[in-house]
Amino acid sequence: PNVIIIYSDDLGMGDLSCYGATAVSTPNIDKLAANGIRFTDSHSSAATCTPSRFSLLTGSYAFRNDAAILPGDAPLLIRPETPTMAGMFQQAGYRTAVIGKWHLGLGDGYPDWNGTLKPGPLEIGFDYAFVIPATLDRVPTVYVENHGVYQLDPNDPITVNYNKKVGNWPTGTERPDLLKVNADLQHSNTIVDSISRIGYMTGGTAALWKDQEIPAIFLSKVDSFINRNEGSPFFLYFSLTDIHVPRDPHPRFKGATAMGVRGDAIVQTDWTVGELVRLLERTNLLENTIVIFTSDNGPVLDDGYADEAEELIGSHDPSAGFRGGKYSAYEAGTRMPTIFYWKGSVDPQVSDALLSQVDFYASFARLLNHELLDNEAPDSYELWDVLTGNATAGRETMLTESFTMSVRRGKWKYIAPWRKPTPAWLDNKRIETGLQQEAQLFNLQNDKEEATNLIEDEPEKHREMGQLLEGILSGATRPGFKKI
């Protein structure tokens, strides 16, 4: 079968109606859920984007590579010699593509925006790439197709700088009157498309993206990728930019919810999924295509722009009753909406199995009959039967990363102490990071809200969970893995 992983950005489990949302309706995603496996305890490897994406593609916990949120001008984080899930599909004869958000760095050293951006996705297993380099709120605000900036006019080269202003395009600090949405200081650098961003840029006018058009542009690239590869199976990592900030959905979604742009961006996400499914139907591929829908980290309301996400949230709970959200060590940081859809090939059900996105790698290896190399996918567990709803016992233990590290063993959850200062930009947000000087221990069985810290009451469990974490930190967890 073809395999598509739809990876949304900053979408919470509670943001979808199939997980209980009532203030927004997501019929297209709900349809996949109703006819597939809907997971309730499936996790990204981290509470932020870059580390989660690193883990998804490499089957490795992100700390093994020091993966943290990357600036928009970072070099490629995954070294070309690292085995990736895309590379595995490629070896199995699939055509592979990444379309959407990248945020794993480009190039060696400093990216050459006006030349060849290499190494990048094409050097780590993708046959085709059409990406935005980092995040919607970071410069350069251009698409990259394969090895170069898309639609760049060579007479109008791009300059990017994350430390000081370059060129004479106004910044949000200088010209707040030009903005469609106000932003905090970090997001008040160069203005592009009436939105100020993190970082400074100038040049590349013909290549600049228009925020409202991004989902349709991605879909058109998906359409041509699929049509180009008629006859051969494909693996598509479809990495949506919704619902990350700045949220500027297409005007057709304006007012689709009473929650402002954040709610409307959820509706746009659902539309994108619907369009993709219709494309698969049109091309007669739906029955032979596995579609996974999930997200990279938990939900956040105010992430730098005054877009009224907080003011208009009403009783909507993006964290679906769990504590925390994006950046947080608590459950909602990594507990992701996760749907496995394979028309006609799985028994629709809800699964409470514990699962991590690092497991997709080894699980698809099983599908492909690919025997993992000694140095491949160090933390990935083969859970194909769980993914497809043929088994209910998922992982027994799991690591998740925020700034600190957390481990699960069954329903027990341990959050390691954090004794360094919280980054200043995070400190002044109203975000429950879960970072505390002392360790925390919860029993999610009867305390899914992580309200009662049992660290004093359960010294034995404390020791056991601490040891579990030490063990994970000291080496790969996949049986059979050998470093070479």
The least distance separating ligand NG6 from the CB of residue 106, rounded to whole angstroms, comes to 15
Angle of the 214-228 helix axis to the 260-282 helix axis, nearest 10: 20
Strands 195-196 and 191-192, sheet pairing: antiparallel
Name every residue whose Cβ is closer than 8 Å to that of residue 396 and which is 6 or more positions away in sequence: 354, 409, 410
Beta-carbon contacts of residue 369 (< 8 Å; ≥ 6 apart): none
CB of 187 to ligand NG6, least distance (A): 6
Among residues 26, 48, 82, 356, the one that binds ligand NG6 under rule CB under 6 A = 48
Selected from 4, 5, 8, 9, the binder of Ca ion by CB under 5 A is 9
Q: Which structure tokens are listed for 351?
A: 């699964």
Cis peptide before 479 (omega within 30 of 0): no
Distance CA 428, CA 422 (A): 10
Closer Cβ to Ca ion, 52 or 388, answer by number: 52
Contact status, residue 353 vs residue 394, Cβ threshold 8 Å: yes
Site of tokens 């990279």: 296
Q: Name the percent of the chain in helix, strand, coil, to the closest 5.
A: 25, 20, 55
Selected range binding ligand NG6 among 79-87, 139-147, 155-163, 297-305, rule: CB under 6 A: 297-305
Residue 69 interacts with which of ligand NG6, Ca ion, none, CB < 5 to 8 Å by class = ligand NG6
Among 5, 7, 8, 10, binds ligand NG6 (CB under 6 A): 10
**276 touches ligand NG6 by CB under 6 A:** no
Least distance in angstroms from the C-beta of 101 to ligand NG6 = 8
Quickly tell me which residue has 């809200």 as its tokens.
Answer: 449
**Residue 41 neighbours by CB distance under 10 Å:** 21
Distance CA 308, CA 453 (A): 33
Contact residue for ligand NG6 among 38, 43, 95, 103 (CB under 6 A) = 103
**Among ligand NG6, Ca ion, none, residue 95 binds (CB under 5-8 Å by kind):** none
The item of Ca ion, ligand NG6, none sharing an interface with residue 304, based on CB under 5 to 8 Å by kind, is: ligand NG6
Phi, psi of 219 (to 5 degrees): -60, -35
Q: x-or-dash pattern for ligand NG6, window 132-171, by CB under 6 A? A: ---x-x----------------------------------
Distance CA(303)–CA(262), nearest Å, equals: 11
The listed partner (ligand NG6, Ca ion, none) that binds 425, CB under 5 to 8 Å by sort, is ligand NG6
197 near ligand NG6, judged by CB under 6 A: no
Residue 382 interacting with ligand NG6 (CB under 6 A) = no
- 360 vs 5: CA distance, rounded Å: 10
**Binder among 244, 323, 335, 408 for ligand NG6 (CB under 6 A):** 244
Q: Which residue is nearest to ligand NG6 (CB)?
A: 49
Angle CA 474–479–480, to nearest 5: 105
By CB under 6 A, tell whether 297 contacts ligand NG6: yes
Please, are residues 249 and 223 in contact by the beta-carbon 8 Å criterion? no
Q: Which of 296, 376, 379, 382 binds Ca ion (CB under 5 A)?
A: 296
For the bound state, the minimum distance from the C-beta of residue 425 to ligand NG6, rounded and expressed in Å, comes to 4
- Among ligand NG6, Ca ion, none, the one that 268 touches (CB under a kind-dependent 5 to 8 A) is none
| Site of interaction with ligand NG6 (CB under 6 A) | 9-10, 48-49, 69, 103, 135, 137, 186, 198, 244-245, 297, 303-304, 425
| Site of interaction with Ca ion (CB under 5 A) | 9-10, 49, 296-297
